[in-house]
Amino acid sequence: MTTPSLVTPDGLEGRSAGRADRVAVMLAGHAVAVGVAADLLLRDGPSTVGAALWVLNAALLGAALVVRTDRTLPPAATAWLAVAVLVAGGAAWRDAEILQFVDFWTTVGALAVAAALIAAPRPLTARLLRELLADLARVVGHVVAGLAPIAAALGRVVGHGTPASARGREAVRVALLAGVPLLAFGALLVAGDPLFASFVSLPSVDLGQVVSHLLVVGVFSWMAAGWMRAALDDAPRPTLMSSPIALRSRDVLAVLGAVTLVFGAYLASQLGWLVGGERFLRERTGLTAAEYARRGFFEMIAVTMLVVPLLLATRAALAVDDREAERRHTRLSLALLAMLALMLVSAVARLALYVRLFGLTTDRVYPVVFLAWLAGVLAWLAVTVLRGRARPFVAGAMWSGVAVLLALHVVPVDALVARWNVDRAARDTAALSLDVRHLAELGGVAAESAVAAVLAPPPAATRAADFTRARCEAAHRLLARWGTRSTEERDWRSWNAGALQGRAAVRAHLPEITRLAVPKCA
């Protein structure tokens, strides 16, 4: 059975007005339930377990609404709802800020994809990227519109209910008419006469708290209503317009050929550095190898990210009847991808030099993982889009991204970074020093290594004064994050497994760390 559309201005669809009104009421009820859950689980500061439970609640209520309106919940949509819940729960497992940031936006994206798949039940493997983007744009539009498109339907239901509901509305009306003046005059008299106040006790209401609760419930109910309407939007999709630009063979040569020349020039410069070494580098730039290794890695990530939309956009804009343009695009794209692979090898080599000289940080690990995923996406693009099979590309890229993100939650990256740096310093104490301040900034899974490094005696090659100051600052940081100032009972909604490990590691050596954290680190 087809659900009456809820996206028209008045929330109706011709003869299905009565059913559309009932669906509107169900949708509003489910949305308000999501809003109330947000007030209970998300309102009081950062939330981890609370956020995961809220996403689970929203997913279950959304799925229930789909079933109650006689629609089918596609398996692909169910899978993306599960991804949203699982990734939201990841924030309660790891305390790395960058992971929690990615978790948030992945959860939002998964919920949007699920809504798009419910509304137009075609698998991702059958969608082009621009088709998926158009569907996601519709979801965003519905979320912004919220309850507004079904306001008329809700008004009709409120205005034409059963006799019992009419009596209830009348009772609420009378209560409001009597209650407002009663509270206003009563409050003034109680404030002005202590004797009267001794006989009368008015309820104490914190208006700020009331407004705060209503605001949270209202905002999240509004967004949830839009998300649910997007899932129930079965209106026909407009045919996507073809590209206004039709690229011919020489156009492809101009666009991709120019980029190929730039990449070739870059690789030639890297060859000079590879053959000429640091002397060549100093002559050309004035930089040492260490200074050169610090730069350019994030710019390389940006270049890699831009290649994907460039190849997809130019492929989509090819003239339909120009086979020569298609062949030239494939050849130039493959050449670009080959050169980009060499550029990535160069970037990783520079990163390895940086790590050897300065140590490993999570700021380098996560971008390397992201770069590896991008390289996989480019390889997937080569075997799908460039071979005339564009539709599987989107699903492969998205699911591989989810797999990489989940793997980062399984692998204790911060602990591995800490152990690598400790082992590195132990291997060559004469040349390398351990940055204990950096260890103290890592996540809770690395706290045990950080505590051991802070309590260890200074390395022989390190100046005692420098190490004492660094150890003092690291001790202060450990105490601020995991020590006595973090021992108060935390709300269960913000529980985090990584933070729990950090507190356990610091509390096991609390007296020793406290002795090192002198008031002024000198």
How many Cα atoms are found within 13 Å in the side-chain-facing hemisphere of 82?
9
Task: Look at residues 148, 149, 139, 113 and name the one whose alpha carbon lies nearest to residue 228.
Answer: 139
Give Cα separations from 134 to 4, 119, 123, 138, 312 (angstroms): 22, 13, 15, 6, 15
**Across the 522 residues of the chain, what is the mean pLDDT of every consecutive 10-residue run?**
46 52 87 93 84 95 92 92 95 90 95 93 76 89 89 68 58 70 74 70 67 89 94 76 72 89 89 75 76 78 90 85 86 92 86 83 90 92 87 91 95 93 75 79 91 82 73 89 66 87 90 85 70
Question: Quick check: 348 and 282 in contact, CB under 8 A?
Answer: no
Type of residue at 332: L
In angstroms, the CA 307 to CA 318 distance is: 17
Q: Measure CA 119 to chain center.
A: 23
Which DSSP string do the residues of 434-501 spell out, in sequence order?
--HHHHHHS-GGGHHHHHHHHHSPPPTTS-HHHHHHHHHHHHHHHHHHHSGGG-SPPPGGG--HHHHH
96-101 long-range contacts (CB < 8 A, ≥24 apart) are 96/362, 96/413, 96/414, 96/443, 96/498, 98/362, 98/366, 99/366, 99/408, 99/409
User: pTM of the predicted model, to two decimals?
Assistant: 0.84
Q: At what angle do helices 413-427 and 362-383 cross, to 10 degrees?
A: 120
Among residues 138, 127, 146, 131, the alpha carbon closest in space to that of 28 is found at 146
pLDDT of 415: 93
Contact 435, 421 (CB under 8 A): yes
Exposure string (b/e) for 252-281, b if CB count within 10 Å is 16 or more? bbebbeebbeebeebeeebeebeeeeeeeb
What burial letters (b/e) apply to 400-410, b meaning 16+ CB within 10 Å?
ebbeebeebbe
Output the pLDDT for position 214.
87
Residue 217 tokens, joined: 């419930």
pLDDT value at residue 172 = 67
Would you state the structure tokens that stand for residue 489, as one six-digit string? 């009972």
68 close to 55: Cβ distance less than 8 angstroms: no
d(CA 444, CA 414): 8
**Nearest 5 degrees, angle CA 172-CA 211-CA 41?**
105
For 461-502, what is each residue's pLDDT tens digit? 566 677 788 888 989 899 988 886 655 556 788 888 988 899
Per-residue confidence (pLDDT) for residue 12, from 0 to 100: 37
Query: Please, is 367 exposed, middle or buried when counting C-beta atoms within 10 Å of its C-beta (0-12, 13-18, 19+)?
Result: middle
C-alpha distances (whole Å) from 316 to each of 137, 348, 390, 462 are 19, 32, 10, 59
pLDDT attached to residue 445: 92
Q: pLDDT value at position 11?
A: 39
pLDDT of residue 14: 39
In whole angstroms, how far apart are CA 76 and each of 110, 344, 390, 477? 11, 34, 19, 45
Question: Which CA distances in Å does 287 have to 108, 158, 267, 277, 282?
Answer: 43, 74, 19, 12, 5
* Bridge partners, residue 247, by sequence: 318
Q: Nearest CA to 376 among 304, 300, 299?
A: 304
**pLDDT, position 165:** 55
pLDDT at 379: 93
Contact 249, 322 (CB under 8 A): yes
- Which residues, 6+ apart, have CB-to-CB distance to 70 below 8 Å? 1, 3
Q: Which pLDDT score, from 0 to 100, does residue 358 have?
A: 82
Residue 178, classified by CB atoms within 10 Å of its CB into exposed (0-12), middle (13-18) or buried (19+), is: exposed
Number of Cβ within a 10 Å radius of residue 48: 26
In angstroms, the CA 193 to CA 350 distance is 79
Taking the C-alpha atoms of residue 486 and residue 503, their distance in angstroms, rounded to an integer, is 8
Cross-strand pairs, 318: 247
Q: 414 is written with which tokens?
A: 């911060």
DSSP sequence for 320-333 = TT-HHHHHHHHHHH
Rg (CA), the chain: 30
Integer Cα distance of 22 and 212 in angstroms = 30
pLDDT tens readout for residues 34-54? 999 999 999 877 788 999 999
pLDDT at 8: 47
